[in-house]
Amino acid sequence: MRRFCHRKGFLYMPRLKKRADGRFRASFTYQGKAYYVYSRNRAELETLKAAKLKELEENKENYENPTLNDYYEHFTQVRCREVRGNTIRAQKKEFHSIAETEIRKGVLFGQLRIRNIKRRDIENVREIMLKNGKTPENLNICFAHLNHVLNTAVLDETILVNPCRQLKRLTRTGTPITDDIHGRHRALTEEETDKFFIVAERRKSYYINVFKMMLGTGMRIGEVSALYPIDIDRGNGYIHVRRTVTRNELGGYEIGENTKTENGVRDIPLRDDVYHVYLNQKELNRFLFGEEYSGLVFPSYKKEILREYTVNREIKRICKDAEIEPFTCHAFRATYATRFIEQRPNDYKTLSEVLGHKNISITLDLYTHVMNSRKVEAVNAVKIKMG
């Protein structure tokens, strides 16, 4: 193992002590700590030492300047102790849509070292995602989460400055959420409602009582799916909404300990027609699962937690047979709210409480939308002779 001595200008062979086991040992110091490498071949010692030094450098880099993906894994592990599993799952989806964006050939955004990320990198990846079909609304949500991640990195001194700080929100484009062309938030007309239930009855749909419960109460599908018999309080005349179906970090379905929002915990007056829906479902459960059944009010036909996507799939089939524009579960909630506003136009405060909206502005947005639609219908119906 030869080395060139610049000061004296000649090669020299350092003396190496051979161990009792026949191996040679070389040592070096890295950040004040001694490290050793061993080999039976003296010529291999320099190669082994270089490899060990490279490993130490990489470990230091991974600890002090991890990739964005590695830091997010640490971020998520800490968050698991603070927030619900379904929240973690949703946020992971938001993060990965950014991290898996290819910013240049063969390089994903999440592979960048967190200290090396610049503001222009973030703006660049957002522009790429926008060109790839992501909506401004979705990107605003995703990058708000990235901003949270990088703010945390500043707090724990992984980075000095958050490059996502003060990133301007993108302006919404396209139709507002209440006019979603896919029907998620649209309200059904009375004619559509009649056609839908005629076909649902004819098909003997397993979910018909679920449809009626959502339409008759304005409850979310997750809230309806999490109801137990004890929540149907006939004596006091209320449905007690206390929990919802959630998804854990692994994507599994479970009954959560609370509702979607703090205001989601509420008592909805129990109308007679809605109570009869409950009695019909109770009878169906006894027929399918036996007299001793006392589980969820609206289980799946396999006696498991009801999945939103299976209900939506049935809705789609019924819509096709009924020849109406397809919609999703949430349309029943929007329909309830619309019928309420049409018949009680000055009572939106009560509607807000019944729906469990986080704040009344959400209800007012819906109120304005419905009233504007009615205004257009009314003005178009007026016949005025103009010459």
Whole-number pLDDT of residue 65: 77
Domains of the chain: 68-174 (1.10.150.130), 178-376 (1.10.443.10)
Whole-number pLDDT of residue 268: 94
Upper half-sphere CA count for residue 75 (Cβ side, 13 Å): 25
Predicted model pTM: 0.57
Q: What is the mean pLDDT of each run of 10 residues along the chain (387 residues)?
A: 42 53 74 72 76 66 76 84 74 90 90 90 92 87 90 88 88 50 67 96 96 95 95 95 80 76 85 96 95 93 91 95 94 90 85 84 68 66 70
Whole-number pLDDT of residue 371: 62
Whole-number pLDDT of residue 31: 67
The C-alpha R_g of the chain, in whole angstroms, comes to: 31
Whole-number pLDDT of residue 226: 94
Report d(CA 55, CA 63) in Å as an integer: 12
Cβ atoms within 10 A of the Cβ of 335, count?
22
